[in-house]
């Protein structure tokens, strides 16, 4: 699973002989429908295997020469999947297939993928995880059937909220696509509950494995409920994550002393795809 708006249109070519004859080749149509069904079955099988955390079955749906849009090969991607499932073994995955374009032994499939999980931490600070991505899968047909040979995440958003923060509507804004070495602004907006002291930070880091912990600088959330930060995208042409962190605290006065207690915290993560500096396309995404 890979875990949004870049439309890829691919022409589906019929046999020149069929076009010349002007006949409707039922046999070729049958094969095309079989390929479509097989591809749908493959992607839905991925969801089934992921929901059961069946690692071997899940990885078997990828080709041995698989490499994704972040530059991860099948070995690195396998480690990433294992890390996620060891941390969250109760994630529920789903996929919605938007479009399938087939040409010869290759296919391009546009999908929307979602995931959800309850995250038990403590009775007061239990959490929820929600994620959605807009992705493109590239498949090849082998003797053993269709396999995923690559995929590209066009946009991605993940939210993890705990305790009182579960009621927050975090809006994190950053460009969907940015040139390498270019400045961009990320902004976080939400309305804190009353009688709560809110702190927040915005950080960014490259998409890599193993993923590094971004440097967080927390500050009191501004009164206008908007926090902004300026970044410069990396020049390694690696994609980036923008991470917003939020903490909610309440002040209790005991024996003339003030005690702060954490009542909730959360994270919002969105993707910024970095392209070579000569690519001028730049889209803004709000989550």
How far, CA to CA in Å, does 204 sit from each of 7, 156, 230, 240?
A: 27, 14, 10, 7
Q: Cis peptide leading into 210, omega within 30 of 0?
A: yes
Q: Which residue has the higher pLDDT, 5 or 224?
A: 224
Q: What is the pLDDT of residue 89?
A: 85
CA dihedral sign of residues 2, 211, 71, 203: positive
Our separate counts of H helices and E strands in the chain read 4, 13
The DSSP code for 110 is E
Tens-digit pLDDT profile for residues 17-75: 333 333 434 334 444 468 999 999 999 999 999 999 999 999 999 999 999 999 999 99
| Per-residue pLDDT at 14 exceeds 90 | no
Tens-digit pLDDT profile for residues 181-221: 999 999 999 999 988 999 999 999 999 998 887 777 899 99
| Per-residue pLDDT at 4 exceeds 60 | no
Q: Which residue has the higher pLDDT, 121 or 218?
A: 218
């Amino acid at each position: 699973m890979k875990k949004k708006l870049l439309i890829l249109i691919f022409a589906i070519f019929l046999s020149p002989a069929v076009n010349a004859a002007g006949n409707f080749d039922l046999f070729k149509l049958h094969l095309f429908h079989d390929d479509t069904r097989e591809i749908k079955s493959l992607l839905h099988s991925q969801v089934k295997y992921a929901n059961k955390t069946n690692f071997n079955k899940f990885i078997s749906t990828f080709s041995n020469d698989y490499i994704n849009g972040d530059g991860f090969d099948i070995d690195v991607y396998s480690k990433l999947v294992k890390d996620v499932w060891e941390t969250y073994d109760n994630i529920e995955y789903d996929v919605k297939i938007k479009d399938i374009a087939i040409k010869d032994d290759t296919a391009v499939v546009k999908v929307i993928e979602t995931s959800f999980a309850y995250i038990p931490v403590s009775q007061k600070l239990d959490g929820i995880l929600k994620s959605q991505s807009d992705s493109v899968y590239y498949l090849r047909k082998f003797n053993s059937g269709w396999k995923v040979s690559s995929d590209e995440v066009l946009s991605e958003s993940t939210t993890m909220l705990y305790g009182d923060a579960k009621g927050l509507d975090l809006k994190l804004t950053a460009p969907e696509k940015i040139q390498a070495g270019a400045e961009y602004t990320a902004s976080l907006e939400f309305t804190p509950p009353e009688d709560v002291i809110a702190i927040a930070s915005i950080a960014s880091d490259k998409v890599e494995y193993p993923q590094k912990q971004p440097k967080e600088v927390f500050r009191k959330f501004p009164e206008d409920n908007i926090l902004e930060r300026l970044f410069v995208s990396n020049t390694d042409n690696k994609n980036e994550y923008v991470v917003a962190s939020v903490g909610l605290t309440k002040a209790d006065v005991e024996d003339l002393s003030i005690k702060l207690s954490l009542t909730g915290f959360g994270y919002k993560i969105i993707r910024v795809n970095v392209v070579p500096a000569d690519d001028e396309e730049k889209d803004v995404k709000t989550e």
